Amino acid sequence: MARPREFDEDAVLAAAIQCFWSRGYEATSMRALMEQTGLTGASLYNAFGDKRALYRKALGQYVDKSVVNRIRRCRALPPIEAISAFFREIVTRSLSDPEQKGCMLVNSALDIAPEDRELRCAVKMVLVEIESFFRQCIEAGQRDGTITTRQSADDLGRLLLGVLIGLRVLARVRPDRDLFEGVLRPAFAMLDPS
């Protein structure tokens, strides 16, 4: 009979997220993961498999607690407010991160997804979900007159996804409120129905 785990899996994944997120996949050693999580190598392997499997699980938890949670909260708002709240939270997170980690999802897309088909597919699906959120908000705003109909909802949704990715990359190297607002102002002007 298998022994019950003697650790909190969510806490271990939270520690692994911080380790991978601040160092990147390649630069994160099993030793660093052991130090960050407080578990032995054997316990990590037994609970999560190899480093790649632990990374995949940590990224999934990051997406659930960050991206999916943000979309869920913002969906409850009127369309233009939902988009605005989504980006306000991104700006706030980016400016309050002293390590300038950016977004673990975007970092994954740039770091290991090109070489890892399974991970690339997982990242792609989340980006599709974010684009869909933007598109649905835009469609609703176009119906209620708060968002322009001069551009298609598909194109505007893709534009906002591109703006988001750009902001998250800038957050790693130049987290500056004026820069972020300068990126967002013209994007939001394109949504204006007047």
Token code pair at residue 91:
């700006």
Q: Calculate the CA 129 to chain-centre distance.
A: 11
Does residue 78 belong to any structural domain of this protein? Answer: yes
Asked if the structure places residue 83 within a domain, the reply is yes
Number of domains making up the chain: 1
Q: Calculate helix-pair angle for 153-173, 79-95, nearest 10 degrees.
A: 10
Query: How confident is the model over 51-108, as pLDDT tens digits?
Result: 999 999 999 999 999 999 999 999 999 999 999 999 999 999 999 999 999 999 999 9
- List the structure tokens of 90: 């991104």
Residue 187 belongs to what domain range? 60-191
Instruction: Give the CATH number for residue 77.
Output: 1.10.357.10
- Nearest residue to 91 (alpha-carbon basis) of 21, 190, 17, 183: 183
CA gap 28, 187 in Å, rounded: 36
Is 120 within a domain?
yes
Residue 1 predicted with pLDDT over 50: no
